[in-house]
């Protein structure tokens, strides 16, 4: 079966064929590093990871670009309050983003361009838009002229009459020709200079608007026309609509061919889940509450299809942790099993069906939850067959191949060296004994050894808990 992906532009699941056979160019909107990423952002980022992994499974080479927005209004505000340059202000949040991605086992993209490193590309694109009268200068700011781009609204299937009426609220604040025109460039204010947020341009000193960043960086790394553009559904309008208008008006070529959008993540109401200062939950909050990043990963990609809404709750995370445990226990059991004499032909048949079904589910617009469901059904049968010593050499190797298929997307089975948990528990017990004997040097030495191996300990009322710490944070 061919890979089919839901294209927001056409509104249907279409067979996916890259422009160049076996080679996919993919642009995904990345974080604005004004704060820690919240779990909703992480859902979109792991959706990109799932897509990227399945493109690999389907035999494509992938050039994946994920931008870091390191200049926008929130960053300017925060940097000014903190009395820092924008570069100083975003640094810890950019590092935190990479730590979160590593902890969640997202594969690395080929490029992580930062907006402030690509100002000349943005200036060139804005100059081209001005030249062809798709843009105009008003009081030092530069705006895109939506009236010059008749295809505006095609992605979000928007009617332009409604757009104008609906957006009238902020009209008086600007010298725009039309309320829906959006900023490509904002005139430098005196305070922007102090925080390093102003650049020279032929149309006046200033800073880029958010939308132009993605258009310029996508073109730089993938060319004017490329295969896939992804983002969370909240970016579809106006951000992606604006990207299309700018890029196609400036380049005179089609922009992204296929658009994929992942749905919202809601936080369960009435639940006390610890939240960071911004009023949203981050991966750090979940880890501090004792959740394993692998359970968070499983919850975000495998609990629901990427185009369905999901709700974050403690129960859902516990259920995900249980599924992670079951799959890992099963993989562990396969590693330790010795083959039975005979083969169970019916089981072999079932494994083959499930392997095919799993692959078909992923080819059907990345339906990982359905595929994983098939696998969990089989685990019950396979465990019973292992109990009854009915799994021979072929059965074991087919089951291992199935787990490898699943782990190509989930990446939760091979995540740790086998036996790590036992080893950590043993060292924790030894440290407890040392503390009870008031041998604090030994206790500290054990904590330090675990820290070197990427394990952090937390003393709590219930005893000692441990968690993995991403390499970058050690
Ligand atoms: Zn973007």
Three-class SS of residue 208? strand
User: What domains appear along the chain, each with residue ranges and CATH number?
Assistant: 4-262 (3.40.50.620), 267-410 (1.10.730), 420-473 (no CATH)
pLDDT at residue 461 in the model: 65
How many angstroms is it from 131 CA to the middle of ligand 1?
Answer: 24
The set of residues, in sequence order, having a beta carbon less than 8 Å from that of 196 and lying 6+ positions away, is 85, 86, 87
How many angstroms is it from 229 CA to the middle of ligand 1?
Answer: 9
pLDDT at residue 276 in the model: 61
How many angstroms is it from 31 CA to the middle of ligand 1?
Answer: 9
The set of residues, in sequence order, having a beta carbon less than 8 Å from that of 406 and lying 6+ positions away, is 327, 358, 371, 372, 375, 413
The set of residues, in sequence order, having a beta carbon less than 8 Å from that of 375 and lying 6+ positions away, is 327, 354, 358, 402, 406
Give the DSSP H or E segment for 466: strand 463-468
In terms of Cβ atoms closer than 10 Å to its own Cβ (0-12, 13-18, 19+), residue 359 is middle
Rounded to 5 degrees, what angle do the CA atoms 137, 251, 11 make?
105
pLDDT at residue 471 in the model: 44
How many angstroms is it from 245 CA to the middle of ligand 1?
Answer: 13
How many angstroms is it from 202 CA to the middle of ligand 1?
Answer: 24
pLDDT at residue 465 in the model: 73
β-pair partners for 66: 28
Give me the residues of the chain with pLDDT under 50, please.
164-172, 470-474
pLDDT at residue 450 in the model: 83
How many angstroms is it from 276 CA to the middle of ligand 1?
Answer: 25
- Residues within 5 Å of ion ligand 1, judged at the Cβ atom: 29, 214
Task: Note the pTM of the prediction, 2 decimals.
Answer: 0.86
C-alpha–C-alpha distance, residues 186 and 172, integer Å: 17
């Amino acid at each position: 079966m061919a890979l089919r992906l839901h294209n927001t532009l056409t509104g249907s699941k279409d067979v996916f064929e890259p422009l160049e056979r076996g080679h996919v160019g993919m642009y995904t909107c990345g974080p604005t590093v004004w704060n820690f990423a919240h779990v909703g952002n992480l859902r979109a980022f792991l959706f990109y990871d799932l897509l990227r992994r399945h493109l690999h499974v389907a035999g494509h080479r992938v050039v994946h670009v994920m931008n870091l927005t390191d200049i926008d209004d929130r960053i300017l505000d925060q940097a000014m309050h903190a009395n820092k340059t924008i570069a100083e202000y975003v640094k810890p949040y950019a590092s935190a983003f990479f730590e979160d991605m590593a902890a969640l086992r997202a594969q690395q993209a080929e490029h992580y361009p930062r907006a402030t490193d690509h100002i000349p590309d943005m200036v060139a694109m804005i100059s081209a838009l001005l030249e062809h009268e798709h843009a105009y200068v008003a009081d030092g700011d530069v705006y895109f002229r939506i009236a010059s781009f008749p295809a505006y609204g095609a992605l979000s299937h928007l009617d332009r009459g409604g757009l104008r009426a609906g957006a009238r609220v902020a009209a008086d604040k600007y010298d725009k020709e039309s309320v829906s025109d959006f900023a490509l460039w904002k005139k430098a204010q005196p305070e922007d200079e102090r925080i390093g947020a102003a650049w020279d341009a032929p149309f006046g000193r200033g800073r880029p608007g958010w939308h132009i960043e993605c258009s310029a960086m996508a073109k730089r790394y993938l060319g004017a026309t490329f295969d896939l553009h992804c983002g969370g559904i909240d970016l579809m309008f106006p951000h992606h609509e604006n990207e299309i208008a700018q890029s196609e008006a400036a380049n005179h070529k089609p922009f992204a061919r296929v658009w994929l959008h992942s749905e919202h993540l809601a936080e369960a109401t009435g639940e006390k889940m610890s939240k960071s200062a911004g009023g949203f939950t981050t991966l750090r909050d979940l880890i501090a509450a004792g959740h394993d990043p692998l359970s968070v990963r499983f919850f975000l990609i495998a609990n629901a299809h990427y185009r369905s809404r999901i709700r974050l709750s403690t129960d859902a995370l516990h259920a995900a942790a249980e599924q992670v445990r079951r799959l890992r226990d099963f993989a562990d059991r396969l590693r330790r099993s010795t083959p039975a004499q005979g083969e169970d032909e019916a089981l072999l048949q079932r494994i083959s069906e499930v392997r095919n079904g799993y692959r078909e589910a992923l080819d059907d617009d990345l339906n990982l939850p359905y595929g994983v469901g098939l696998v969990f059904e089989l685990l019950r049968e396979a465990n019973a067959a292992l109990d009854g010593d009915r799994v021979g050499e072929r059965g074991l190797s087919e089951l291992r191949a199935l787990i490898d298929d699943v782990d190509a997307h989930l990446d939760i089975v091979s995540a740790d060296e086998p036996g790590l948990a036992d080893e950590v528990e043993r060292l924790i017990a030894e440290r407890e004994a040392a503390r009870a004997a008031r041998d604090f040097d030994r206790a500290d030495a054990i904590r330090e050894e675990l820290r070197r191996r990427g394990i952090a300990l937390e003393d709590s009322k219930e005893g000692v808990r441990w968690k993995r710490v991403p390499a970058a944070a050690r």
